[in-house]
Every structure is written in structure tokens, then in C-alpha cells.
Amino acid sequence: MAAALLEITHGWLVIGLGNPGKQYAGTRHNLGFLVADELLRRYPPLASIGNPSSVVVRIVIGGSPVILAKPMTYMNRSGAAVASLIGRFPEHRILVIHDDLDLAEGRMKLKRSGGDGGHLGLRSIVEELGHGNFARLRLGIGRPADGDVVHYVLEALADDPLKEHLEWARNAAPVVEQVVREGLTAAMNRVNRRVVEAREFTGFTR
């Protein structure tokens, strides 16, 4: 694993957060997994990389090597999985994709670094790494009207809402492509110029 990571330290480490298991597959908390799956659909893996705590593959986007990972440790233990993946990746080459209660449902935004914002997956990563100096792609899910956050993020979505979330994941994948191809600053300038409405976002030209 270490040797494989050393080969691509000029590339990107992209991590989609979620929970493993069929019972979580169609939940809001698994939007990070959905985006990772969409990237995998667009870019067939060149290799799988053995890791005890994550599903890890190597892909290429725009000529740049990317390690794409989905931690299998459950959300609140994501930090241990991420720490095992970092190798010698510089902080500015790490992108974490996650759901976000503080963005309206269907919106997305890039962030260069920061705290955990109450997100248990981010909290675990920040605690494990000792810093929050990694980029994030925030995927808005809004907050529940009844205030029951746990049920809201983990409830299985009905067919129509699930289809919407799958569409948002497809529309978020081009943002990751932009980050890899042109860098985080260029992507932030385009995506964050306004808070992008994921359901309307048609993506960047490849």
C-alpha cells in the first residue's frame, strides 16, 4: 500500500465518506459514497489497492493520477481509515466529499480547510490527523424540520428522493474533475462564485 501511494504523490487523494452496508446505501449520509461511485463509473479503475479499512482504487482524471477511496469503518471512525491512506500526500492534495446539514438540500460548495462543522466523519478525521487542513466538497442535505438529525441522515430514502440524490451525485462528479484538472483555487472560483445548485449543475467540459 505504501509503495503504491508513493508512486502518485503528485496526484490526488479523493475520499468519499459514508457508511458501509446495504442498510445505509440509500441514505443522505452516503452522498460521499455516491459521488465516489459516479467517479468510478466515469473512470474505470487501473488498479485496486489493498487496504484493510477502505475500498481503494487508482484512476486517472485528465492525465493526473487519483487514489479514490471509500472508508469502510463507519462514519464516526473515518479518521483511522483516512490516516492509513494519506502516505506522503501533501495536505493540499486531499479532497474529502461529504454530506452537509448546513447547506440547503441539493446545493454544493468547495472549502479549502476548516473544522468539522458537527459532521462526525470530519470530526474523526480532524481528530486523527490533528488538523483540518484538507479540502472538502460539501453536499447540502439541509436540516430536518423536526430536528431529529440522526434519523434524517440515516433514514432510507423513498424512490423519488433517492433518484434526486443519485442525480446530485452525478452532477457533483464534475466538480471533483475540475479540482483535479485545474486545482482547488480554480475550482473554488467557479463553484463558489455562487453556491451551486447541484440539481441544475450540468458540469464542466472535459
Closest Cα to residue 91, out of 184, 194, 193, 4? 184
Output b/e per residue, 51-90; b: 16+ Cβ within 10 A: bebbbbbbbebeebbbbbbbbbbbbebbbebbebbbbebe
Is 29 among the residues known to form the active site? yes
Query: Could you say which DSSP state residue 170 is in?
Result: H
**Catalytic annotation, pick one of 29, 98, 119, 165:** 29
Under 8 Å between Cβ of 95 and 15: yes
| Beta pairing, strands 107-111 & 196-197 | antiparallel
Alpha helices in 22-141 (DSSP H): 31-42, 78-85, 120-129
Radius of gyration of the chain from its Cα atoms, rounded to whole angstroms: 16
Integer Cα distance of 126 and 124 in angstroms:
6
Integer Cα distance of 192 and 28 in angstroms:
22
Residue with cell 483511522: 80
Q: Name the residues annotated as catalytic.
A: 29
